Amino acid sequence: MTPFFLQSARLELRHWTQANLPLAQSLWQNPEVARFTHANGSFSLEEASARLEGELDTQRRCGLQYWPVFLLSTQSFVGCCGLRPYEQRPSTFELGVHLLPEFWHQGLAQEVARRVIEHAFQTLNADALCAGHNPGNTASRKLLARLGFAYTHDAFYAPTGLQHPSYLLIRPR
Ligand SMILES: CC(C)(COP(=O)(O)OP(=O)(O)OC[C@H]1O[C@@H](n2cnc3c(N)ncnc32)[C@H](O)[C@@H]1OP(=O)(O)O)[C@@H](O)C(=O)NCCC(=O)NCCS
């Protein structure tokens, strides 16, 4: 089994491997997960595979990923949460969370995001984190507010072709 590298009360984060392709597909091909993050509302098989390749590549190049998340109690695959580089500012990373619908409404997104935020500020020495969401994604807006992100501006997001509200969380002093 792939070892975890971060843990919270109910969850653990591991690194994606090539062998995780079925998990990656189960997540990104789920229409409820991709509804707000993909222009067509869901990823094709090829797009889900390419997305996994992208995560593996970002880990190799930058030490970052939207890391796969598992329940500690059952080892069930829950989704992913992590960071990617933000081109405009090297010391800022972008935070993202994608959970399978059966794990929504339990505070798990909040729990895993808090652990990743702590990792970003305490271990990776980030100055700030940014995040955005589809304007129709109320769950994501509520999550970012609970995590303490502040709205900054609307920005064009190519995968959906929409203006997405953008947010920033500055490292606490
Ligand atoms: C965005 C997303 C991660 C939010 O997940 P979520 O489960 O709603 O988020 P939270 O962890 O903040 O959970 C909050 C809910 O859990 C409930 N909850 C239950 N137990 C809880 C606990 N112990 N602690 C905190 N909240 C708890 C809260 O009351 C709240 O309920 P509500 O949704 O009915 O208001 C999820 O909808 C998702 O994965 N969507 C698809 C992908 C996506 O769009 N990602 C965002 C773009 S990166």
The band of 2, judged by pLDDT with boundaries at 50, 70 and 90, is low
| CB burial of residue 69 (10 Å; 0-12, 13-18, 19+) | buried
Q: Does the residue 150 lie in any domain?
A: yes
Q: Which atom of ligand 1 is nearest to the CA of 140?
A: 1
Total of domains in the chain:
1
Going from the Cα of 139 to the center of ligand 1, the distance in angstroms, rounded, reads 6
Q: Whose CA is nearest to atom 20 of ligand 1?
A: 106
Could you report the per-residue pLDDT of 126-143, keeping only the tens digit for each? 999 999 999 999 999 999
First-to-last alpha carbon distance for the chain, in angstroms, is 38
Q: Does the residue 101 lie in any domain?
A: yes
Ligand 1 pocket list (CB less than 6 A): 33, 36-37, 96-99, 104-110, 133, 137, 139-140, 143, 146
3-state secondary structure labels for all residues of 10-76:
CEEECCCCHHHHHHHHHHHCCHHHHCCCCCCCCCCHHHHHHHHHHHHHHHHHHCCCEEEEEECCCCC
Q: Does the residue 104 lie in any domain?
A: yes
Mutate to test the pocket of ligand 1, among 104, 129, 162 (most ligand atoms within 8 A of CB): 104
The three-state secondary structure class of 8 is coil
Q: Does the residue 138 lie in any domain?
A: yes
Mutate to test the pocket of ligand 1, among 103, 143, 157 (most ligand atoms within 8 A of CB): 143
Q: Which atom of ligand 1 is nearest to the CA of 97?
A: 48
Q: Which position has the token pair 């919270």?
A: 8
Task: Decide the pairing of beta strands 162-170 and 150-157.
Answer: antiparallel
| C-alpha to C-alpha distance for 75 and 4, rounded to whole angstroms | 11
Mutate to test the pocket of ligand 1, among 28, 93, 105 (most ligand atoms within 8 A of CB): 105
Could you report the per-residue pLDDT of 25-58, keeping only the tens digit for each? 999 999 999 998 887 788 899 999 999 999 999 9
Q: Whose CA is nearest to atom 24 of ligand 1?
A: 107
> Cβ distance 97 to 113 under 8 Å?
yes
For residue 43, what is the domain's CATH number? Answer: 3.40.630.30
Q: Does the residue 1 lie in any domain?
A: no
Instruction: Give the residue-averaged pLDDT of 108-127.
Output: 98
Provide the residue range defining the domain that includes 104: 6-170
Q: pTM to 2 decimals? A: 0.96
Q: Which position has the token pair 């797009």?
A: 47
> Cβ distance 150 to 168 under 8 Å?
yes
Q: Does the residue 61 lie in any domain?
A: yes
> Cβ distance 14 to 3 under 8 Å?
yes
